[in-house]
Amino acid sequence: MILRTLALLRYLQGASHTAQEAQATVQQACDYRWLRGELHHGVITDPTTALADDTPAVAITLAYPATRARLAGGRWPENLGERERCFVEGAHACRAAGAPPYRPLESLSRGLAYGAASVLTDSARMQYLIDQRALRLVWRRPGHLPEALARRLTAGSAATPGVFLLEVRVPARRDEMALRGVWLDQALDRYRRILPRPAGH
């Protein structure tokens, strides 16, 4: 495992990465893989939004119980009204929602399972979402949820008096939607204009 980890680091370093940058790239790829796997739990909450560069997008929202452990991961105000006005963006939003925490060796081990080329691709997809400010986490009381989510969620208990909502804005139209990881890959690759389009597209 150590030799495979070193081989992955050398591969990424060959793509002009330092050791620290290589670890960050693998972690970013792991964050994306987590998000990709969570997508099917989402609900379309805004079919006509936009990214930071005004690209038309669809907002998908994922909901997570605001457990004590998740609340402890950030500086959420005690006052509930103030808490609802706070938000977290980017990779930190995924981490606050429950993505695996940053552990260099563990992340590199997970990266090995995907393969070096896949790591670079997934990291680039995550970076696109971060650059477009397409990831945002907010806290909401059960009675203040978007209607689309309120229909699917049970009101919080005393132990979890609120819900974390992770919004992901994806460059797409409503009629293109498919809440699957493969669809997310394709939508991001098309708008990033980095990967070549399939023949005939």
Q: What is the largest CA-CA distance in the chain?
A: 55
Query: How far, CA to CA in Å, does 165 sit from each of 43, 139, 148, 192, 194?
Result: 11, 6, 12, 25, 30
Taking all residues of the chain, what is their mean pLDDT, rounded to a whole number? 80
Question: How many C-beta neighbours within 10 Å does residue 15 have?
Answer: 13
Q: How confident is the model at residue 16 (pLDDT cuts 50, 70, 90)?
A: low
With beta carbons less than 8 A apart as the criterion, state whether 52 and 132 touch: yes
Q: How confident is the model at residue 170 (pLDDT cuts 50, 70, 90)?
A: very high
Helical segments of the chain, H only? 2-14, 19-38, 68-72, 80-84, 91-97, 104-114, 116-131, 147-150, 181-192
Tell me the mean pLDDT in the region 75-93.
Answer: 91
Residue 152, pLDDT above cutoff 70: no
**More confidently predicted of 196 and 64:** 64
| Bridge partner list, 58 | 170
Q: What is d(CA 136, CA 118) in angstroms, rounded to the nearest whole number?
A: 25
Structure confidence at residue 196 (pLDDT): 45
| CA 10, chain centre distance (Å) | 27
Model pTM score: 0.80
Q: How confident is the model at residue 160 (pLDDT cuts 50, 70, 90)?
A: low
